[in-house]
């Protein structure tokens, strides 16, 4: 069984923009960033930074935490898929 591919927050952003009928260009201009920045997020080539989360959240009536949590979950799933931690011995929480 393989794990599902994590969903990049840019995919969510693209879907929300489509549902609202807002272009990437219009969002970029509304939040004061170059259009390529939004394009790169939507195309999964760029992460959502704290700055982007604040700007996008303000424009779309959402919290920046929503966007940062999506990014955090995505990053953690990628790390889980590519990092083997099985050989790491816990330093705390294990009885001697």
- Summarised one tens digit per residue, pLDDT across range 24-81 is 999 999 999 999 999 999 999 999 999 999 999 999 999 999 999 999 999 999 999 9
pLDDT (tens digit, 9 = 90+) per residue, 29-41? 999 999 999 999 9
Tell me the pLDDT band of 93, cut-offs 50, 70 and 90: confident
Q: What fold characterizes domain 9-74?
A: 434 Repressor (Amino-terminal Domain) (1.10.260)
Q: How far apart are the first and last CA of the chain?
A: 35
- Alpha carbon separation from 43 to 19, 68, 78, 88 (Å, rounded): 17, 17, 17, 35
The pLDDT assigned to 1 comes to 44
Q: Which of 77, 54, 85 is nearest to 5 (CA)?
A: 77
């Amino acid at each position: 069984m393989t794990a599902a591919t994590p969903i990049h927050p840019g995919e969510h952003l693209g879907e929300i923009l489509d549902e609202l009928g807002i272009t990437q260009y219009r969002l970029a201009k509304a939040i004061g960033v170059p259009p390529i920045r939004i394009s790169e997020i939507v195309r999964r080539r760029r992460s959502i930074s704290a700055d982007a989360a604040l700007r996008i959240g303000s424009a779309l009536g959402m919290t920046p935490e929503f966007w940062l949590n999506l990014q955090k979950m995505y990053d953690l799933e990628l790390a889980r898929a590519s990092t083997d931690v099985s050989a790491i011995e816990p330093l705390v929480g294990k009885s001697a």
